[in-house]
Amino acid sequence: MAFASNPNDPLDRYSRQVRFPGMGEDGQRKLMASRVTLCGCGALGTVLANHLVRAGVGFVRVVDRDFIETHNLQRQILFDEDDVADNLPKAEAAARKLRKINSTVTIEPIVTDIDHTNIEALVSDVDLILDGTDNFETRYLINDAAVKLNKPWIFGGVIGSEGQTMTILPGKSPCMRCVIEDSPPPGMTPTCETAGVLGPAVAVVASFEAVEAIKILSGNFEKLNTKLIMFDVWDWSFRELKIAALKDKVDCPCCKGRKFEWLDGALGSHTTTLCGRNAVQIATRRHEPLNFPEMATRLAPLGEVRHNAFMLRFATEGHEFTVFPDGRAIIKGTNDIAKARTLYSQFVGS
Amino acid sequence: MPVVRIPTPLRPYSGGKDSVEASGSTVGEVLTSLTTALPDLKDRILDAGEVRRFVNIYVNNEDIRYLDDLATPVADRDEVSIIPAIAGG
């Protein structure tokens, strides 16, 4: 018998996966020798980490800046009410749960805000970068670092009942800036806070990302997705948008020009704690003024909002946002930069 | 007539419709008739006559940037899709 149970065999616990023809013993051993960095451990990130640790990826670095809140539990599958009561950071709570799931995997939790100063160190020693973030600023940073260091990465995004994913192999596929040239202006697109999100939609996107990760880490490159996948689990729609030809057609500053503007800090936001004011300022570099009436419409159901031509004020959940037309915001009610950046992506957008 | 598929975030500006017929023989003409009929969509898709950088337009699942951009021909019943990037996670 090829797969008789043998507790001393490290492959034994993966027997059902090894039997899958695309994997085999060879693929499983590659998976067990592989290393990944997971950027963001919220909705997408917990599903991704769960799949990869159960599948036997050898090393998983979990990077996240946030603490767990009760409203996360609807979709962030690694967390429970005890974690909320213990006031644990997501990376640490995830690591504790993941180690119980599979003690043979090395889990490295890192509680930090990913920015242009630390991303290279977080991804330089891994085989693959996974996107569990909720904002485009971090995704463009991941994209710059991945292209610069020639590492594959997998994009996933979800809002409401809709999801998107694509797989980026630097030098072989279009990069994220080839496909999505610029992020939407803050306040212009919905976020999970303003438009809501269904747990199963998250699980579908993250599961697609996880399958692509398993293919890459087990050496099955020929089976990778080459399209921008888009689906809606509420309307039962599924689309495969062809993007491969963009690689040679688009004059991409990142993968063609090798200008890493997000990684260099030339693009993206800068944050400052406003001493003594229990407030953080987030300064973005956008040329286009924000659309306050549209932002106000999105935010109105979530708190008190008012605006004039010069500023928009929004109060919710103990925090007050003052947003200026150039995207700069002062968030009152916290001195914590990571918390302020989370609030900005949640309510204003990336 | 070609059919334009409207993504969820833009449906407040299309009267809630997920697809709208719009006349034209190129993508540019189709978008002009679309935004003439539904003027609130214009600023969300176009900027000074060009497609905004955070929006992508596809004709039958092909990105117009590797076809002929706004001059890409569109036939009767072709599907023109406006695809915004999804940020959440």
pLDDT digit string, tens, across residues B61-82? 999 999 999 999 999 999 999 9
Asked if A144 and A216 sit in the same domain, the reply is: yes
Q: Does B50 touch chain A (CB under 8 A)?
A: no
Cross-chain residue pair B89–A132, CB shorter than 8 Å: yes
Domain contains A29: no
Q: Which of A180, A214, A249 is the last residue of a domain?
A: A249
B22 pLDDT more than 70: yes
A39 is catalytic: no
pLDDT tens string A201-237? 999 999 999 999 999 999 999 999 999 999 999 999 9
| ipTM (interface pTM) | 0.91
Cross-chain residue pair B53–A181, CB shorter than 8 Å: yes
Domain tally for chain A? 2
User: Which of B43, B65, B88 is nearest residue A249 as measured by Cβ atoms?
Assistant: B65
Judge whether B83 and A166 are in contact, CB under 8 Å: no
Q: Does B48 touch chain A (CB under 8 A)?
A: no
- The residue behind tokens 């260091």 is A149
Res A286: pLDDT: 67
pLDDT tens string A17-45? 999 999 999 999 999 999 999 999 999 99
Interface of A with B in 147-166 (CB under 8 A): 156-160, 162-164
pLDDT tens string A145-172? 999 999 999 999 999 999 999 999 999 9
- Domain CATH code at residue A275: 3.30.310.10
In chain B, the N- to C-terminal Cα span, in Å, equals 37
Q: What residue in A sits closest to B57 (Cα-Cα)? A: A241
- Domain CATH code at residue A73: 3.40.50.720
What is the residue range of A121's domain? 34-249
A2 pLDDT more than 60: no
Residue of A48, A41, A36 lying closest to A111 (CA atoms):
A41
Interface of A with B in 166-185 (CB under 8 A): 179-185
Instruction: With beta carbons under 8 A apart, name residues in chain A contacting B8.
Output: 159-160, 162, 195, 232
Judge whether A144 and A263 are in contact, CB under 8 Å: yes
Residue A43 sits at the vertex; the CA angle it makes with B84 and A239, to the nearest 5 degrees, is 35
Q: Enumerate domains of chain B plus CATH numbers.
A: 3-84 (3.10.20.30)
Q: How close, in Å, is residue B56 to chain A by CA atoms?
A: 7
User: Which of A133, A157, A246 is nearest residue B65 as measured by Cβ atoms?
Assistant: A246
